[in-house]
Amino acid sequence: DAASAQSQFLSSPGSDATLVDVIGLPPPDISGLVDSSTFIAVKILIMMRETVPILRSKIAEMQHKPTALIVDLLGLDAIRLGRELNMLTYAFIPSSARFLAVSIYFPTLEKDVEEEHIVKKKPLAIPGCEPVRFEDTLEPYLDPTDQMYRELVPLSSLPPTADGIIVNTWDGMESKTLKSLQDPNLLGGIARVPVYPIGPLCRPADPSNANHPVLDWLNK
């Protein structure tokens, strides 16, 4: 949970608890915006969006205002606070440059191109990148009538409105995609802001999962 993750971070080697000020935000009431049938991911996105006014109030109360705001995929709605409160804003993509490329390109698709991919299941061409096979397309992007699609696609257009995009990858891993994201004549024309590869950031492996058959096969 959040409390144990916070405790683990503050007690990790190299961390200085005196440099970190953790402020908890009360959860917003979204009972009027969702029902029992609402997909959990949609609930999280709505909750994060409804938290933005609470975050704005907390920042306004601070004696020393932050000069920069970094938000992850679920918190992209908070990017607008940068302009309101005179902060630099950065979108942090903990996934890959490939995911970033697809997500910011999808909102720009013409309807006929989108139908070619979703209905006719043809590969989706992305400037400067390898095409996306239909089988590899994330499920939320496959049904324009679904609420998850209606939440996610507009959200995907927000990283280019930040001052920069931080992505969990490195040039040796995704050089072609990163080059496209940084080229104004390719995907850089959509990203519009600097893209900073800062990976790899990896989650520590759970020792209890060390004997997985697939890992054993890879280690041979």
Is residue 212 a part of any domain in this protein? no
Instruction: Indicate the number of domains in the chain.
Output: 1
Work out the average pLDDT over 16-27: 78
Is residue 218 a part of any domain in this protein? no
Structure tokens at 133: 């096979």
Question: pTM (2 decimals)?
Answer: 0.84
Residue length of the chain: 220
Cβ atoms < 10 Å from Cβ of 198: 11
Give me the DSSP letters along 73-123: GGGGGGGHHHHHHT-EEEEEE-S-HHHHHHHHHGGG--HHHHHHHHTS-PP
Q: Among 97-111, 164-178, 197-211, which stretch is predicted with the lowest mean pLDDT? A: 197-211
CATH number of the domain bearing residue 57:
3.40.50.2000
Is residue 217 a part of any domain in this protein? no
pLDDT digits (tens, 9 = 90+) for 65-116: 899 999 999 999 999 999 899 999 999 999 999 999 999 999 998 888 888 9
Give the list of residues 6+ apart from residue 159 with CB closer than 8 angstroms, or none: 76, 79, 91, 93, 100, 103, 104, 165, 191, 193
Is residue 108 a part of any domain in this protein? yes
pLDDT digits (tens, 9 = 90+) for 114-152: 889 999 999 999 999 999 999 999 888 888 888 888 888
d(CA 54, CA 24): 10
Look up tokens 């990283």; give the residue. 159
DSSP character for 145? T
d(CA 166, CA 156): 14
- Read off the pLDDT band of 201 (50, 70, 90): confident
Work out the average pLDDT over 12-20: 69
Is residue 209 a part of any domain in this protein? no
Is residue 210 a part of any domain in this protein? no
Residue 143 · residue 71 · CB < 8 Å: no
Is residue 93 a part of any domain in this protein? yes
Is residue 216 a part of any domain in this protein? no
Element holding 60 (H helix, E strand):
helix 40-61
Check pLDDT > 90 for residue 171.
yes
- Could you list the residue range(s) of the whole structural domain that residue 114 is in? 2-203
